[in-house]
Amino acid sequence: MMNSSNLYHIFCTFMLSLVAGWPLFFSFACFIPAFRSKACFLLPWAAVPAFVAVFLVPVGEVVEVPWFFMGGRMGLDETGRIFLCLSAFIWFLAGMSSVHLSGRERYSVFFLAAMAGNFGLILAQDALGYYVFFALMSFSAVGLVVHRGTPDTRKAGGVYLLLVMIGEMALFVSLLMLAGNTESMAIADITDDSSYNLGILLLLFIGFGVKVGVLPVHGWMPLAYQAAPVPAAAALSGAMVNAGLLGWLRFLPLGRIDSPRGALLFITAGGVAALYGVVAGLGQRKPGAVLGYSSISQMGLMTLVVGLGLSSPAAGEQAAAVLVLYAVHHSLSKSCLFFGYDVMTSRQGQLSGWSVAALLLPALSLAGLPFTSGAVAKTGLKELFHAVGEPWSSAASYFLPLTALGTTLLVLHFVQRACVRKSAPASRAVLVTKILVLIASLGAVAFAVWLWPQAKLQARHSLAISKIIHALWPVVLGSGIIFFWRRSEDKQEVYDDGYLACESRSHLNSLYMQVSKSWEMRLARLSKFFFAMLELLLKMLQLRKIEKILGRWTMVGVSYLVLCLLLLLLLR
């Protein structure tokens, strides 16, 4: 007879198999005509087994899954539990928002397959399982990006697909190199026994960096966020992008490896992306593209955190904790912005103050406004900089306020563009569903990090008077600059495919002459100087031309061939 321990082990095996197997089963069932019409209404419920596993499967439980390709190991550690709960919540809300999309039968297939891949890679405890689920999620997302079938969406899907192929190839080779010295494919074994040379670090940087949106393989992110339906974009930005971060946590055991050159690679790429995302995003007029560049900037900060963790084993464990905290904060806030934007474009008539306030909470949370999850996450980031020591602790006193200021400008720019976006109004039932989704998302943004035990220390530190002042002034300054930028703009009610250029100096000069009060004169002068410098920087960098070149198929194809040659050299 089976004892209770064996029965519980069977239950854990069943639940862990069901987490990815249930949405995958629904995805295949969509090909059955009798089931197809109901599939979209079952989208949110495909995430239910993941919630059950989060609360009922104990941490440290690892099971063999014979039905998986060549066998496999699945389990939950503490990091996996956090990512699974976060991803299940966002997928559930995205599924709720998707039930009334046009063409939902085809949409459901890709949505459910991407969900299955996302859940599966979180549970995977072996390299092969992680790679297969990662590929399933990445390639299924192509169907979400091209769902509308317009030329712009097909272009976005093509760029995304080619960059995913580059990332998959780099990831596959890096996993082969890691597993070359061991007879096991278990992640714990290959990360313990492998030596991390610069070649492996570079391949892991590219392989997972495509999903994270690191430079220079970031080009898919603004295109895909704008092209995909809003619920799918929320899942892309809030759940799927975390697969790259989790990959770095899984295959770069922070705290056990030390690589100064690898640290320099991650820190440099992350720092440049954090600033580049702001500069390029301010030139965008489409709300989805603005949020895409915002993700590039925020993911740049997280890439920088990985680099700090690689600088020394002592900083590695703290960097891993900060990375998880920042991922939770960013995922909840960014997906909430998409859900709020979805509500705003579905309303009839003028927008209410509550609608705008619903966007401002997650937007300013990303900027690090005091008493928000962003303040808690950035407190952890500052403490990591100081723990690593010089020269990074000194650089943080200038770099972090600058990124906070840039994020404030970018997210408020998104709120402005979202407020004037025109779209077809939705029915009352659809609007009520989207509002309920937004309320749930806002609740998570407002309370999740504060109620999270692992963030208790950073939450308490963020309430210090000095931390509140340091977090407040970039938000206030950025809000003032945006206010005067908005007043200097000509009112525009329609969108085109171009970039938003800064207004001419003569226009800003006429605005400056109209301002009479002394405090307004100072802000106007600062705004004038800032956007004059921004216009000069945009011209120097020629961002529009660079983005178009990087988005061409020939450019991506050449990059693919160059990567193939580099991989052949590494494998010699």
φ and ψ of 152, to 5 deg: -65, -40
| Residue 567, CA distances (Å) to 49, 207, 274 in order | 39, 12, 28
pLDDT tens digits, one per residue of 50-93 = 999 988 888 877 777 665 555 578 888 888 899 999 999 999 99
Peptide bond into 216 cis (omega under 30): yes
Distance of CA 20 to the CA centre of its chain: 21
* pLDDT over 90 percentage in the chain: 17
**What is the 3-state secondary structure of 336-352?**
HHHHHHHHHCCCCCCCC
User: Mean pLDDT throughout 266-295?
Assistant: 88
**pLDDT grade for 155, boundaries at 50, 70 and 90:** confident
Rounded mean pLDDT of 233-245?
91
Residue 272 pLDDT exceeds 50:
yes
Q: What letter does residue 236 receive in the DSSP assignment?
A: I
Average predicted confidence (pLDDT) for the chain: 79
Given this model, what pLDDT does residue 571 score? Answer: 44
pLDDT at site 485: 67
Closest CA to 89 of 331, 325, 288: 331
Least confident range from 8-12, 69-73, 150-154, 330-334: namely: 69-73
Most confident listed range (100-109, 124-133, 481-490, 495-504): 124-133
Of 41 and 511, the structure prediction assigns the larger pLDDT to 41
How many CB atoms sit inside 10 A of residue 500's CB? Answer: 18
pTM greater than the 0.95 cutoff:
no
Mean of the pLDDT values across residues 216-225? 86
Least confident stretch, 85-89, 206-210, 353-357: 353-357
- Band of residue 540 on the pLDDT scale cut at 50, 70, 90: very low
| Sequence-ordered alpha helix ranges (H) in 98-241 | 104-123, 127-145, 151-179, 187-193, 198-212, 220-227, 230-235
Grade residue 1 by pLDDT with cuts at 50, 70 and 90.
very low
Greater model confidence, 45 or 186: 45
Whether the predicted pLDDT of 165 surpasses 50: yes
Q: What angle do CA 357, 362, 363 make, to 5 degrees?
A: 85
Provide the pLDDT for residue 494.
Answer: 40
Per residue in 6-37, pLDDT (tens digit) is 777 777 778 888 888 888 888 888 777 777 66
